[in-house]
A and B are shown apart, each in its own frame.
Chain A
Amino acid sequence: MMTTQTGSLEKPVDVASPAATGSRLQAIARGEAFSPAIHAELEREQSVLDVDDFNLWYGAAQALHNINMKVPAGKVTSMIGPSGCGKSTLLRSVNRLNDLIDCVRVKGDMRINGQTIYHKSVDVIELRKRMGMVFQKSNPFPMSIYENVVYPLRIDGERNKAVLDEVCERSLRGAALWNEVKDRLQESALGMSGGQQQRLCIARAISAEPEVLLMDEPCSALDPIATNHIEDLIHELKGEYTILIVTHNMQQAARVSDYTAFMYLGRLIEYGPTATLFQKPILRETLDYVTGRFG
């Protein structure tokens, strides 16, 4: 379904006047309303995930303010922003992992392929099966490599060995891990290296063929070579999967993603094609951030 809802995507009023830079961030810090700069290219994209006026509170503290954003299908979208700005929170809101935290309260909605995510009638478990998630710290389960990969199928009650074998191989190949582990599938996953473990988690995340792949700083605990592996992997997965990735590494965002969203203090500030955002952003603040002048 083509989403053309762009009601909130209005052009910001004052475009990058240097004087306004500090004051705009101050205004945000004061809690004043702010409308983000959304680049026009996004309107032409077909979206998989739509975030509509999404707010989230941890207890009394608001962590997300009025987020409106659409994640284009088959593309890699990265989220950047200073620590604590709510990137992980937003990512975890997509598959409602925040439901596990008692004090969380939300307002607004998200839609995946047009279907609402935040509604009482939504079966959270079914919803999560439509998404794969990779965490900052790799979290293989205490079982064999094989069982780790087919875990999403196992909990669906899949028993057919042929199906499981096929999925296992496909996912491990997809995560560029097959050649390394094909002879030790029955060994414990905890005996792998950190980078292998993270790729295993990616294999697990894609084994159920999710509609969206959520990645929260998947490389932050890895060395450059393992990071390269994963970045290559993201490139390969692109097209097949829609990927939403959080990263602290500006170069990485520039390398792997098609679109980039810049967040600050729980707000979406600017969102557009990666190249534009990094070279000629609409807002001065974005330029300051990506060039390392603040944040």
Chain B
Amino acid sequence: MSAKTDRLPSASGKRRGSSDGSATLLAHGEPMVWLTGGGLALAVVMIVGLLGLVVYQGIFTFLPVPVVRSELHDGRVHMGEVTRRESYRPAASVIDSMPEAIQERARAEVAATDGWAKRRLVRTGNFELSGEHFDWVSDYEVARDRFPEWALVIERVTWGRFYGEPVAFEIEHRLEKATSAEAQAFAGLLHPAAGRELRFRVGGVLLAPEAVDQAAQVDACIEIWRDPADVWRQFGKYHGDVRKRLERRQRLEKHDTGKVSHRSEAARLELREAEIAAEKAGQRHGPDSPRTAEARRRLEEQRVAQAAVDAEGLGEFQRIRGEIQALNQENARYRMVMKTTSTAETPVSLSDIVRAYPANQLSLGDKIGIYFSRWGEFLADDPREANMEGGVWPAIFGTVVMTLIMSMLVVPFGVLAALYLREYAKAGPMISAVRIAINNLAGVPSIVFGVFGLGFFCYLVGGSIDQLFFEAKLPSPTYGTGGIMWASFTLALLTLPVVIVATEEALSAVPSSMREGSYACGASKWQTIKRIVLPRAMPGIMTGMILAMARGAGEVAPLMLVGAVKLAPELPIDSVFPFLHPERSFMHLGFHIFDLGFQSQNSEAAKPMVFTTTLLLILIVAGLNLFAVMIRNRLRKRFQSSAF
């Protein structure tokens, strides 16, 4: 056969070869089908696998699971949520180190499964008590698993989760040095409630009202419920109000205090400006000139004004602090006493609780409710606890705003550059060099852009802006440090080649017959570009924008240098004048993922959050792209000819 093909290299020879039925497989092209198809299949498997993993892991993070209380052979007790199970080969030494009494059984159990054992990762929470968030428990260690009916999962503002069984719900009524009789009278005024006990606190000791000595001074009257169902009911009754007070406190702390300090900061800046002006006037016109005197006079005025603002601010601060204190005190009256595995009883203040639920008696509806309430918190709240808990709203906001600003910057610049290259520039070595440079720019590692952005935008441009316009604030930088604007600029630079290349392609794909048609109508070059070429190239330009957005939204490395931070106290857009704060640093989902995954103390708890955040990032990037794709398709429809 090979001799035959050698002899007949012409097309007719080949055709004859295959009609003989004696052609090689290669001649039929089937191996190529398999090879190319295999390549595609591999790519598809990789993409589907990646997405599947992220979606699977991310989607179940917020699902409530039952709380299991495991009593171990050695007497230890674990209570918590099982997050993960796996098989492993326990080392002999581990079993050897177990107490004698149970070694035999453990060994037998492991041997029965060929040396494999199952273990589970239990999220035990109660970090302040045990010093651990998670614990591995091997099945052979477990004597008994129970699912306590009233085991509560408590998500707290600080210290992470708490697992325990409620033993009491307490409401404290503080009494100012009341006599026993007065306390009794007060207790009589309280609404009677089922299952409630009353206790008086006398010198730090709780006593039943009857047992209080007539002469004793009662510090507080405490209502106590002990039945778990009652405790849960009371929790439901008061928790909402406590949360509301907490929100009020947060608003006071953030918004009102922010406003006051903003005002005093503005006054301080004005004073500083006046100082600088006076100084400059002194240098320029001499210490005795009337202008200097004028500047000095203004400085004095500013001093007075600032002192007034400061005094007012101080009063305001005190008022706010008083209100916060009152709220705190009110909230501190409500607490739940929990029984855990390690200590007898631990009080948990209601103001510490974000969410609590009896994990072992949830109906499906409850579970779904908790699931979505957690998603809601995740999407809409600020992060807590070093980003481990709470939401990622600032990061979502930062990502979207940065991507949009970046697109708004990069598209016009890229399109203009591509227009010049494709429509105006005369082909030549210079243009070829520029084109090669642009294409290579796309291959530059992104961290290089980060370094450039930091050096050029932040330090040079931003530093100059600070020198010129924000002198009073120096030495603390305004624009002279990372911020959302500089990050957007940097990413715009990074994605510029993508837009240029895509736009050039789109421009060159505009049929020359259309341009000629326009020229023949007497249109100038710019009119042709504006009315014919650009609209026609728009879908292609949008493609470039989509690619740029996809690239820009997912970029993390350069952002770490030019403004993405672990925790940004304020959003780049808010209600404080001038509303847009392009100089502010911001949070970014990509950086958030990095931070969660690699910088957090509690890596086991971070893991599901990493996946969830990744899922969110993918969804946001996909959403942004989908939006652009929809616009592009609408444009495309306009340019599709039905005639051939």
Contacts and interface: CB of A to CB of B under 8 A. Distances in A.
Interface of A: 95, 97, 100, 102, 125-129, 131-133, 135, 137-143, 151-152, 154-156, 188, 190-194, 196-197, 201, 204-205, 208, 214
Nearest to A154: B531
Given A142-B536, A155-B527, A192-B643, A208 B521 contact: yes
A204 to B, nearest CB: 7
Nearest to B637: A188
Given A125-B522, A155-B522, A190 B640 contact: yes
From B515, B521, B531, B532, residue with most partner A Cβ within 10 Å: B521
Contact of A137 (B513, B536, B638): B513
Contact of B521 (A100, A142, A143, A204): A204
Interface string B523-550: 1100100011001100000000000000
Nearest to B532: A141
Contacts of B515: 100
Contacts of A137: 513
B642 to A, nearest CB: 5
Contacts of B511: 139
Given A190-B640, A193-B643, A97 B516 contact: yes
B526 to A, nearest CB: 10
B519 interface: yes
Contacts of B642: 190-192
Interface in B598-644: 638-644
**What is the size category of the interface that chain B forms with chain A?**
20 to 34
Interface of B: 426, 511, 513-524, 527, 531-532, 535-536, 638-644
B427 to A, nearest CB: 8
A190 B535 CA distance: 14
Contact of B522 (A152, A193, A214): A152
B639 A155 contact: no
A9 to B, nearest CB: 30
B12 to A, nearest CB: 30
Contacts of A154: 531
Contact of A139 (B516, B524, B535, B640): B516
B638 A142 contact: yes
B639 A190 contact: yes
Contacts of B536: 142
Given A135-B517, A142-B536, A151-B518, 10 more contacts: A97-B519, A142-B532, A152-B522, A155-B523, A155-B524, A155-B531, A188-B638, A194-B643, A197-B641, A197-B643
A142 B535 contact: yes
> 5 closest pairs, A vs B, by CB?
A129-B522, A190-B641, A133-B520, A139-B517, A139-B513
B203 to A, nearest CB: 89
B641 A152 contact: no
B368 to A, nearest CB: 47
24 contacts: A100-B516, A126-B522, A128-B520, A131-B520, A132-B520, A132-B521, A133-B520, A135-B513, A135-B517, A135-B520, A139-B511, A139-B514, A139-B516, A141-B517, A143-B535, A151-B521, A152-B521, A155-B521, A155-B524, A190-B639, A190-B643, A191-B641, A191-B642, A204-B517
B567 to A, nearest CB: 49
A140 B639 CA distance: 10
B644 A95 contact: no
A252 to B, nearest CB: 22
A137 B125 CA distance: 75
Contact of A141 (B518, B522, B640): B518
Contacts of A135: 513, 516-517, 520
A128 B516 contact: no
Given A139-B513, A141-B532, A143-B535, A100 B640 contact: no
B282 to A, nearest CB: 59
B301 to A, nearest CB: 56
Contacts of A141: 514, 517-518, 531-532
